[in-house]
C-alpha cells in the first residue's frame, strides 16, 4: 500500500544522518500509508495559476520536458541510491516519451529500459478493481451486496455497535474496516485463496465499515477471491485473459514472486542487490509489468475503456471508478478515493487545476512505482523503480512530468507555493492548554506540553517546537541538540491545528488547502496489572512466516500509557513506537490515529501453558 515526501536537509554529514532519518520519518508518516502501521495520505489540490493557452504546435512539443525530467531523474537517482528506473509519458493514445535510467541488473551491466519488468506492488489493485467492475457489468457481481454472499464462509468479528456489513464497494474504496494486512504467511508464495479465508476466520475489524478510510491490502485480496469464484477461473489466469491479453500487455503477469524473465529487474537496497520476498496476496500486489505495457492501460482509460475495437470497460464504469466514494465520511475530511483509484492527489502527487487526478502507488520491500492519470486532459505517467529508497523519487518524477505536460498541452501552470510566515507573538495560555496532552497518531504516541510560553512535542524519540503561524496554525520546528536549526522543506509546507470532529479532539495536518486527520487527543489509560507483567522483549516464534517484516517487539509502559516498540528487519535501528489500549486482561488495541480503532493484540497461552502475544496471526514469545 504506501507517496512519501522527500526532505531536503542541509548537509550530508554522517553524524546528522540519524536526525535526518527521524525527521524524514515524520514527513513520511504524515504523507503516506505504507508498511503495516502506515499513515493515511494528505490530499493536495486547489486553484491553478493562470497561463495563456499555448498554440497547438507548442502543445505537441515535449522536447523541453524530456530534457528537464531526464536531468531531474539522474539527479534524484544519484541522491537517493536508486539503481534503476523506467518512465513513460502518455498523451491520449500516444506514448510521447519512454526511457530507462540506470541499471536493471547492475552486476551484469544491463541497463533499465522502458521494457524492463518491475514488481508493481499495490498498483495491482487498479487491475483487481477493473476485473471486479467487469463482473459487475456482466451482472455477476453486485458491489453493494454483503461480501458473505460471495464468500459465505468468511467470518468477521467486531467490537463496535451495529451490524457488520462489508461490501465489494467497501473493499475497493478502503472503507471495510478490515486490517491492513494479515501478517502470518504474508511473505510466502502460498496464494491459495481458500487457505487465506480459513486463516483469518474470526478476524477483528479495526474500525466499523464506512467509518473512516483505512487502507486494507487484505480487503483487496478478498476481492480477488470473489473474482476467482465468480469467474470460476484462478485469479491470475482470469486477469490475464480479460485484461492483460486484450490490453496487449503480453509480457506482464501476476505472480507471488519476481518472475524468471530476461527483462525482469533485480532489486536493490542501498545500492546493493537484495532479494525481494514473495508475497501471498497477489490481488493486492502481484503485478509484474513495464512502463511500456502500463502505458497501454493508461491509453485504454483515455479511450473510454476501449483498446481498438475491444471493449475493456464501459465509459460509465470508468466514470464511477473516478467518482469520490467517501464524500459523506466526516472523519476523512478532504481525502477522496474512488473505486480502486486514489483521487485528487495525495502526498507528493500535487497537481492543481488539472481536474480529476487519479493515481495509485505501488510498493514491495524493494520496488516502488507510481501511476497518475489526468482523465480530462488525457495525460498520464508511469514511473517504476527497483530500489527500496525510490519511493520519493518515483512520486517526484511523476508529479513533475505531468505538471510540465499539463502546461505544454493545456496551458495550465502550477502555482508557486507562498510560504506562510511565523507569528511574532506566542500562543495564548488558553491555546497552549488546549493543545497540551497526549495524542495517538500515525507517528505513534505524541506528547505535547507547555514550556514557558512555548509548546513542545515529543515524537519519534525527539523533541520538536510547535510554533504559531500567521494563518492560525502551528509549524513544526526542530533544533539539533536544542541549538542547531534544521530546515525541513517538507514539514514547512504543513500546518497543524486542533479541531473537534464527531465528538473527538483531532490533530489535523494541513497542506495545499487539504487536510489529514493526523491523530486524536487521548487520556492515558493505566495498564491493568495483567498487562504490566507483560512488559519485556518479544520475538516472532519459529512458526511465524513473516520473516522480512518484524525483528523484535518491546512491550513497555511510559507516561501513563502502554506502548509497543517494533523493530523491523529492514530498519532495525529505527524502531516504530505504537500506543496500546487494553480493553480486557487479554486484549488490547494497537492504536494508530484513533483512540478506539486499531488492530487487536492478544495474550494467549500455548498447550504447555506458556503465554505469548498474538498479532495478525503471528505469535511473539518473550525472550
| Strands 536-540 and 495-501, sheet pairing | unpaired
Element containing residue 588 per DSSP (H, E): strand 587-591
C-alpha–C-alpha distance, residues 598 and 429, integer Å? 33
| Three-class DSSP category at 368 | strand
Put simply, whether the predicted model's pTM sits higher than 0.85 gets the answer: yes
CB 455 within 8 A of CB 427: yes
Q: What are phi and psi of 270, to 5 degrees?
A: 55, 35
In tens, the pLDDT along 332-356 reads 988 999 999 999 755 568 899 999 9
What number of other Cβ atoms are within 10 A of residue 384's Cβ? 31
C-alpha–C-alpha distance, residues 256 and 192, integer Å? 11
The full set of domain ranges for the chain reads 42-122+264-276+285-410, 429-519, 529-622
Per-residue cell: 434: 488546549
In tens, the pLDDT along 529-565 reads 999 999 999 999 876 554 557 889 999 988 778 999 9
Sheet containing strand 94-105, strands side by side: 110-111, 94-105, 84-91, 379-385, 368-374, 358-363, 342-343, 336-337
Per-residue cell: 413: 501552470
- State the pLDDT confidence band at 485, using cuts at 50, 70 and 90: low
| Three-class DSSP category at 75 | helix
| Chain Cα centroid distance, residue 115 | 26
pLDDT of residue 512: 77
Which are the contacts of 499, defined by CB distance < 8 A and separation ≥ 6?
A: 505, 506, 508
Q: Distances in Å between the alpha carbon of 252 and those of 72, 187, 236, 258?
A: 28, 21, 11, 11
What number of other Cβ atoms are within 10 A of residue 422's Cβ? 12
Question: What's the number of CA atoms in the CB half-sphere (13 Å) around residue 393?
Answer: 29
Fold for 529-622, please state it. Lipocalin (2.40.128)
Mean pLDDT of the residues in the chain: 88
Among all chains, which residue has been given the C-alpha cell 514488481?
119
Q: What is the DSSP letter of 188?
A: S
Q: What are phi and psi of 323, to 5 degrees?
A: -95, 135
In tens, the pLDDT along 115-148 reads 999 999 999 999 999 999 999 999 999 999 999 9
Q: Comparing 149-153, 430-434, 549-553, 579-583, which segment has the lowest mean pLDDT?
A: 549-553
Which are the contacts of 208, defined by CB distance < 8 A and separation ≥ 6?
A: 158, 160, 162, 164, 177
Is it true that 42-122+264-276+285-410 and 529-622 share their CATH fold? no
Architecture in CATH of 42-122+264-276+285-410: 3-Layer(aba) Sandwich (3.40)
Amino acid at each position: 500500500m504506501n507517496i512519501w515526501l522527500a526532505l531536503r536537509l542541509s548537509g550530508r554529514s554522517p553524524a546528522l544522518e540519524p536526525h535526518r532519518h527521524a525527521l524524514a520519518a515524520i514527513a513520511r508518516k504524515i504523507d503516506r500509508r505504507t508498511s503495516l502501521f502506515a499513515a493515511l495520505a494528505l490530499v493536495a489540490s486547489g486553484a491553478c495559476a493562470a497561463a495563456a493557452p499555448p498554440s497547438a504546435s507548442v502543445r505537441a512539443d515535449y522536447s523541453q520536458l524530456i530534457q528537464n525530467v531526464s536531468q531531474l531523474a539522474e539527479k534524484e537517482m544519484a541522491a537517493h541510491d536508486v539503481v534503476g528506473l523506467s518512465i513513460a509519458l502518455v498523451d491520449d493514445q500516444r506514448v510521447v516519451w519512454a526511457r530507462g535510467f540506470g541499471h536493471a541488473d547492475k552486476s551484469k551491466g544491463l541497463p533499465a529500459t522502458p521494457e524492463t519488468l518491475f514488481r508493481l506492488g499495490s498498483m495491482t489493485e487498479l487491475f483487481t478493481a477493473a476485473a471486479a467492475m467487469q463482473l459487475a457489468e456482466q451482472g455477476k457481481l453486485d458491489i453493494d451486496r454483503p461480501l458473505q454472499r460471495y464468500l459465505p464462509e468468511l467470518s468477521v468479528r467486531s467490537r463496535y455497535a451495529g451490524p457488520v456489513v462489508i461490501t465489494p464497494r467497501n473493499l475497493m474504496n478502503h472503507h471495510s474496516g478490515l486490517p491492513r494486512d494479515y501478517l502470518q504467511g504474508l511473505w510466502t508464495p502460498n496464494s491459495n485463496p481458500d487457505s487465506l479465508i480459513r486463516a483469518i476466520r474470526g478476524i477483528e475489524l479495526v474500525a466499523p465499515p464506512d467509518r473512516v478510510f483505512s487502507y486494507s491490502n487484505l480487503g483487496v485480496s478478498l476481492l480477488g477471491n470473489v473474482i476467482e469464484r465468480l469467474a470460476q477461473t484462478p485469479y491470475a489466469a482470469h486477469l490475464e485473459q480479460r485484461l492483460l491479453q486484450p490490453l496487449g500487455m503480453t509480457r506482464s503477469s501476476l505472480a507471488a514472486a519476481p518472475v524468471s524473465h530476461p527483462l525482469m529487474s533485480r532489486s536493490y537496497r542501498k545500492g546493493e542487490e537484495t532479494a525481494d520476498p514473495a508475497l501471498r496476496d497477489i490481488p493486492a500486489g502481484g503485478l509484474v509489468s513495464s512502463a511500456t505495457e502500463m502505458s497501454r492501460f493508461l491509453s485504454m482509460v483515455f479511450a473510454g475503456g476501449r483498446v481498438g475495437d475491444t471493449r475493456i470497460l464501459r465509459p460509465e464504469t470508468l466514470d464511477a471508478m473516478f467518482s469520490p466514494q467517501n464524500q459523506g465520511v466526516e472523519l476523512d475530511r478532504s481525502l477522496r478515493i474512488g473505486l480502486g483509484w486514489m483521487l485528487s492527489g495525495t502526498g507528493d502527487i500535487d497537481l492543481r487545476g488539472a481536474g480529476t487526478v487519479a493515481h495509485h502507488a505501488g510498493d514491495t520491500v524493494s520496488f516502488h512505482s507510481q501511476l497518475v492519470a489526468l482523465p480530462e486532459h488525457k495525460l498520464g505517467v508511469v514511473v517504476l523503480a527497483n530500489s527500496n529508497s525510490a519511493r520519493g523519487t518515483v512520486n517526484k518524477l511523476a508529479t513533475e512530468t505531468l505538471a510540465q505536460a499539463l502546461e505544454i498541452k493545456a496551458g495550465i501552470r502550477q502555482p508557486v507555493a507562498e510560504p506562510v510566515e511565523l507569528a511574532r507573538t506566542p500562543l495564548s495560555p488558553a491555546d497552549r492548554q488546549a493543545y497540551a496532552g497526549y495524542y495517538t497518531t500515525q507517528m505513534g504516541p505524541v506528547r505535547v506540553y507547555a514550556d514557558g510560553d512555548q509548546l513542545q512535542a515529543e515524537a519519534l524519540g525527539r523533541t520538536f517546537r510547535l510554533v504559531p503561524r500567521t494563518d492560525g496554525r502551528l509549524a513544526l520546528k526542530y533544533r539539533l541538540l536544542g541549538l542547531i536549526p534544521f530546515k525541513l522543506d517538507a514539514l514547512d509546507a504543513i500546518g497543524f491545528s486542533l479541531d473537534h470532529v464527531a465528538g473527538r479532539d483531532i490533530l489535523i495536518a494541513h497542506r495545499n488547502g487539504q487536510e489529514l486527520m493526523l491523530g486524536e487527543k487521548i487520556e492515558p489509560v493505566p495498564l491493568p496489572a495483567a498487562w504490566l507483567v507483560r512488559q519485556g522483549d518479544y520475538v516472532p516464534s519459529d512458526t511465524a512466516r513473516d520473516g522480512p517484516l518484524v525483528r523484535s517487539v518491546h512491550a513497555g509502559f511510559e507516561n501513563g500509557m502502554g506502548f509497543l516498540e517494533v523493530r523491523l528487519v529492514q530498519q532495525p535501528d529505527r524502531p516504530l513506537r505504537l500506543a496500546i489500549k487494553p480493553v480486557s486482561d487479554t486484549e488490547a488495541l494497537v492504536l494508530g490515529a484513533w483512540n478506539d480503532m486499531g488492530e487487536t493484540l492478544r495474550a494467549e497461552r500455548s498447550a504447555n501453558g506458556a503465554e505469548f502475544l498474538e498479532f495478525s496471526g503471528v505469535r511473539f514469545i518473550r525472550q
